[in-house]
A and B are shown apart, each in its own frame.
Chain A
Amino acid sequence: MSGVVALGYASSWGAALVRISPYTFSAIGIAISIGVSVLGAAWGIYITGSSLIGAAIEAPRITSKNLISVIFCEAVAIYGVIVAIILQTKLESVPSSKMYDAESLRAGYAIFASGIIVGFANLVCGLCVGIIGSSCALSDAQNSTLFVKILVIEIFGSALGLFGVIVGIIMSAQATWPTK
């Protein structure tokens, strides 16, 4: 990247990018982590919920079992909250002379990346679990032996969010700001 090498070349795009405060990136990362995760969870819950309610009219027995799908979607939002809390504890003040040091930038970018990883992994995980949960409710209403089999698929789907959280936490562990 030309801007990173020639930091003194003040009018290139690369230079503009590295002059953005690392705190901006960190804050955006934390916001995305919680915001997009909750988006995924909500999306999944409404997809499952609408099918579940309609199907439960003709087959009331399915309601209690199929709340598991909603719980899996909700777990996705909880992952987002946990990671956001962890990320915000990584924020430290550095003196303004060191704010644009390479180490500061690295810490900022690490928190940003962690937030994006967790946010988008949880978004697609919530969607996946929601759509499967909807099909699960409809199939359970027709034939109750199918529930456990489809639940296995949902469990695999919800592991996707977990992958995101793991990688996000590993990334954020590298967020060490320069000491004073």
Chain B
Amino acid sequence: MYGFEALTFNIHGGYLEAIVRGHRAGLLTTADYNNLCQCENLDDIKMHLSATKYGSYLQNEPSPLHTTTIVEKCTLKLVDDYKHMLCQATEPMSTFLEYIRYGHMIDNVVLIVTGTLHERDVQELLEKCHPLGMFDSIATLAVAQNMRELYRLVLVDTPLAPYFSECLTSEDLDDMNIEIMRNTLYKAYLEDFYKFCQKLGGATSEIMSDLLAFEADRRAVNITINSIGTELTREDRKKLYSNFGLLYPYGHEELAICEDIDQVRGVMEKYPPYQAIFSKMSYGESQMLDKAFYEEEVRRLCLAFEQQFHYAVFFAYMRLREQEIRNLMWISECVAQNQKSRIHDSVVYMF
């Protein structure tokens, strides 16, 4: 019953909610980012990070540090936090937490299949996979030749199996089909997650619906922009849009026929929340769009912490950590390549 979750939520979820809020207090603030941006080299970054929660993960790294090591260790902290929470959770929170991983699983599957197509070594690809998205038998993906085999050999035993029904074709895997497969899988995953949250009801469903709707709309815009000028037909493009969100269904109709970015802007400016995003960018400037979307996402994720006794705080925490790792990667790369003037282009401040 909405409004009375406070009475029973703490039986199963109180401890973990308090833990995740403790983790949230450890996210880097604007002051931390300013310190990091002043660093001269990667060892300075390591020194600044040793005062934060990342300290214990980075302290044993030998001195010629690489940006990939920093990112890897920070991701390790995220994975440790996640696994700690997952092993303590009961139903339905454990199912909710599992859903957060499926996005990473989809990305890993696509990474390995694309890498195999371009004849890279499987071990090398496995090292690049996101640890949250690993599952047994992931290495077998390298053997599959087309989608049906992919499904039959590997994915039928994973949680991704029900998402595959829409993309089972006998076509061979090439770059275009793999992208279409990624987007189809992600669409099915978002819709499934959305339905699951609706079933949970209460504050969880309200906050998660908002967050997932934003995700669905953002993906629709990105799919549209990335497929302008490619051979993806309008019907195929429309099939990749999720069937929920602010843009569903009329926005999707209009986005499907867009042929350049100004038309996309014209469509999005009809929706007040997105008009605010697009108005920050002047005409013809699409590089800032990614950052604008990230900023909007971070703003919504931070708002999820304002309410107590719901599961969306876990989702928000995972996403905010991932954004923080992206920030750290950008800062490390800028510092390592001596391009500090460009640091502020892509760092999204949270608090």
Contact = CB atoms under 8 A, between A and B. Distances in A.
Interface of A: 43, 46-47, 50-55, 57-59, 127, 131, 134-135, 137-138, 141-142
Interface of B: 6-7, 10-11, 14-19, 21-23, 25-26, 308
A141 B18 CA distance: 9
Contact of A59 (B7, B14, B17, B25): B25
Contacts of A57: 18-19, 22
Given A46-B11, A47-B14, A54 B22 contact: yes
8 contacts: A46-B11, A54-B19, A58-B19, A59-B22, A134-B10, A134-B308, A138-B21, A141-B25
A75 B253 CA distance: 62
Contact of A47 (B10, B19, B23): B10
Contacts of B15: 50-51, 53-54
A57 B18 CA distance: 9
- Looking at chain B's contact residues, the main secondary structure is helix
Given A58-B25, A58-B26, A137 B18 contact: yes
B6 A131 contact: yes
Contacts of B17: 51, 54, 138
Contact of B7 (A54, A127, A138, A141): A127
Nearest to B7: A127
Nearest to B22: A58
A59 B15 CA distance: 14
A57 B11 CA distance: 18
A141 B308 contact: no
A138 B14 CA distance: 10
A176 B18 CA distance: 51
Contact of B308 (A43, A52, A54, A135): A135
A146 B18 CA distance: 16
Nearest to B11: A46
A55 B19 CA distance: 6
A58 B23 contact: yes
